[in-house]
Structure 1
Amino acid sequence: MSEKEKKTEELEQETVEVEETLETSADTDEEVQEEVKSDVEVLQEKLEEMEDKFLRASAEIANVTNRNRNEREQLQKYRSQDLGKKLLTSLDNLERAMVIEVSDEQGARLKKGIEMVLESMRHAFKEEGIEEIPAEGVTFDPTLHQAVQTIPANDEYPADSIVQVLQKGYKLHDRVLRPSMVVVAQ
């Protein structure tokens, strides 16, 4: 073999090797691209999953915040419920004391003092949202009134009307502290 032929053969062999290397390189590039594509898809799924978790957590935080705010508002609105219930008996006693007739100056001064205490209690109740439940002459409402006695209905007192209030009822905003004890026509 001549030197020219050797060189030609070597060149051909190098060309084949370069082509094989290029083919292998192309195959490797495709594999790398597929791996990268697969990794991107996995990361995209994880991102979507994390976004979903984030949105759910944000919604839960908003719900807890709203629930806490509502509970605080309810506690504030009805904070005087227990004290109001306990003071109703004292209010009743002061009202009964005001009905008593007095004949001397000392009794009149005592009655005036009781009247002042009664008015200050009524004012404090009003400021806290505690109000008397209307009863006499209105239609009986079992959510506001407690019937302790009934009388037959007539022209003066139609059926389900309240004839007499035996004990006043009170409510705090929309909650009944104590129902009115009443006599109802039936």
Structure 2
Amino acid sequence: MENQDNMTPDQNKNNEALEDALASELNVDDSMAGTQKLEDQLAEEDEMAKLKNEVEEAKDKYLRLVAEFENFRRRNAKERVELIQTAGKDIVQSLLVVLDDTDRASKQMEKSTDIDALKEGVGLVFNKLRGVMQQKGLVKMESIGQDFDPELHEAITEIPAPNETMVGKVIDVIEPGYYLNEKLIRHAKVVVGK
């Protein structure tokens, strides 16, 4: 740069104007940098606010989901208890007609002296009971003459077989086995030939 002593007043003014412009430009750059920092800070605050809102929403959804699951669990437990308490209701209602018949038969036994009529009446009650049980899916297991199967039978005793074909087979049934809806509910107690 030229020495300021050798400059004309116009050149001095131009230099001062140039210096002022540079200083002003520096101030503008500083203020722009400050504005940029401020904008960055505001953007970060907005981002933080968005993240906080998202966290709060996720927390709210989680709490609602936990509460909904807890309600479902309670409702399910209550329904299970009610189902267990009323599970036998259907079969008991079906057996009430048989119970009524046994009461009538009992009254008739006190009054009647005709043994054949009493036998017939009791036979009818037993048949009605068997019919109701079959309607509910109860099936009696046929075991006599079948091979002994420990999955189905419980051997009470073994006796000598009357012939060779009956060895290892069921000769007599002490207590019959039963299926309920094709599922074994009681093993048959049997006598097996040896």
TM category (shorter chain) comes to 0.5 to 0.7
Determine if the alignment matches structure 1 residue 155 to structure 2 residue 156. no
* Structure-2 separation of matches of 1:43 and 1:148: 74
| Counterpart residue type for residue 18 of structure 1 | V
Higher RCO, 1 vs 2 (CA within 8 Å, ≥6 residues apart): 1
Unmatched runs of 5 consecutive residues or more in structure 2: 1-8, 93-101, 103-112
Identity of aligned residues (%): 20
* Structure-2 separation of matches of 1:71 and 1:143: 31
Determine if the alignment matches structure 1 residue 183 to structure 2 residue 191. yes
Residue aligned with 1:27, SS: helix
Q: After TM superposition, list the pairs within 5 Å mapping 1:1-186 onto structure 2.
A: 8=17, 13-37=23-47, 40=50, 53=62, 79=88, 106-152=114-160, 155-159=164-168, 161-173=169-181, 174-176=183-185, 178-186=186-194
Change (3 A) 1:152 1:179: same
TM-score normalized by structure 1? 0.58
* Structure-1 separation of matches of 2:147 and 2:88: 30
* Structure-1 separation of matches of 2:159 and 2:56: 75
* Structure-1 separation of matches of 2:155 and 2:146: 13
Aligned residues: 157
Residue aligned with 1:184, SS: strand
Q: Over aligned residue pairs, what C-alpha RMSD do you find?
A: 4.6
| Counterpart residue type for residue 30 of structure 2 | E
TM-score normalized by structure 2? 0.56
| Counterpart residue type for residue 179 of structure 1 | H
* Structure-1 separation of matches of 2:80 and 2:187: 25
